[in-house]
A and B are shown apart, each in its own frame.
Chain A
Amino acid sequence: MLERLRRRRCRQVALVLQAYLDGEVDVATTRRVHDHLETCRRCGLEATTYRAIKDAIPMAASQGQHAASPVDPGALDRLRSFADDLLTGEQGESR
């Protein structure tokens, strides 16, 4: 009985998992799916896989462009200075 209920909840979560990961379901559903993913190992793994796919997409999409496109050296200099300022405490808490 419990197993049947769990399976039904898994199927319900599978139906909305993608929309959940995209922040496209309502608050109540978000909480319900989140709670299920915390307790169901199989659905939790499923969510981790799709999150990793979503995270890999920008890296994968920009692969071919790295060699081709020159970047603005001024922007890189400013970002490196910004990072140096974070280390010396001149940035960070103000943002």
Chain B
Amino acid sequence: MLDGVNPAVPSGDAAAEADARRHSAFAEYVQPEIEVLYRVAVTLTRNPADAEDLVQDTLVRAFRAADRFDGRHPRAWLLTILRRTHLNRVRKKTPSLLADGGDAARTLEELGPSLPSSEEVALSREFEPVVAQALADLPGDFRAVVDLVDLQGLSYAQAADTLGIPKGTVMSRLHRARRRIRERLMDVGLARGAEGM
């Protein structure tokens, strides 16, 4: 943040304009997506009550950010906020299971806020159908790790405990699963390879 300037609290006309933009964007882009948000939240939390809380948190974050949303791909924007909010909630609930007590996850959150960039929103929306097919084609043991870490938001250690396998195996299966998904995206020209990496 700039010294002495809080962009979240503009003054006078600017504040009124931002407020009006926030309200109209929320009504136009967010409210029509509540059912989709709830359905995905049920998938993520596997619990209707937790899903409702998660959607409420997502709505609050989306409301606060709505005046800065560019209006492109609202569903992908909201679902990304939902996923990141879910991960933050899971990690806050189980800090003892995180590497170094959650400091790294907190630092990551400080360095990269839970609101996605418009580039990430556009990409994830483009990726979705290919990712769906790639997920369906993953071997069962790879898919189980992706479900636990990327859907349920468990830490590597927690996923390892759940599956009864070493943490190193969780990491290697997860990373190989994501590489396979990435290769599928490359096959259809949606992602580039990283030469020499």
Interface residues of A (CB under 8 A from B): 7, 10-11, 14, 18-20, 22-27, 29-31, 34, 42-43, 45-46, 48-66, 69, 71-72, 75-76, 78-80, 82-83, 86-87, 91-92, 95
Interface residues on B, range: 35 or more
A48 proximity list for chain B (CB < 8 A): 117, 119-120, 123
B166 on interface, CB distance cutoff 8 Å: no
Interface residues of B (CB under 8 A from A): 23, 26-27, 30-31, 34-40, 42-44, 48, 51-52, 55-57, 59-60, 63-64, 76, 79-80, 82-84, 86-87, 91, 98-100, 103-105, 107-109, 111-112, 116-117, 119-121, 123-125, 127-129, 131-132, 135, 146-147, 149-151, 155-156, 171, 174-175, 178, 181-182, 185, 191-192, 194, 196-197
Q: How distant is the Cα of A2 from the Cα of B35 in the complex, in angstroms? A: 52
Known: A72-B48, A79-B34. A27 touches B107 (CB 8 A): yes
Q: How distant is the Cα of A6 from the Cα of B120 in the complex, in angstroms? A: 25
Known: A11-B197, A57-B146, A95-B57. A30 touches B39 (CB 8 A): no
**Option from A34, A42, A76 in Cβ contact (under 8 Å) with B112:** A34
Q: Which residue of A lies closest to B52 (CB)?
A: A75
B125 proximity list for chain A (CB < 8 A): 56
Q: Which residue of B lies closest to A15 (CB)?
A: B197
B64 proximity list for chain A (CB < 8 A): 92
Q: How distant is the Cα of A31 from the Cα of B125 in the complex, in angstroms? A: 28
Q: Which residue of B lies closest to A91 (CB)?
A: B60
Q: List 19 A-B contacts (CB under 8 A).
A: A27-B100, A29-B104, A45-B192, A52-B124, A53-B178, A55-B80, A55-B124, A57-B131, A57-B135, A58-B82, A59-B40, A61-B135, A62-B39, A75-B52, A76-B38, A79-B34, A79-B56, A82-B59, A83-B34
- Determine whether the beta carbon of A18 is less than 8 Å from that of B31: no
- Determine whether the beta carbon of B26 is less than 8 Å from that of A87: yes
Known: A53-B181, A82-B56. A76 touches B79 (CB 8 A): no
**Option from B27, B174, B194 in Cβ contact (under 8 Å) with A87:** B27
Within the complex, what minimum Cβ distance (angstroms) separates A94 from chain B?
9
A25 proximity list for chain B (CB < 8 A): 99, 104
- Determine whether the beta carbon of A30 is less than 8 Å from that of B108: yes
Chain A CB count within 10 A is highest, among B36, B182, B194, for B194
Q: Which residue of A lies closest to B181 (CB)?
A: A53
Q: How distant is the Cα of A80 from the Cα of B108 in the complex, in angstroms? A: 32
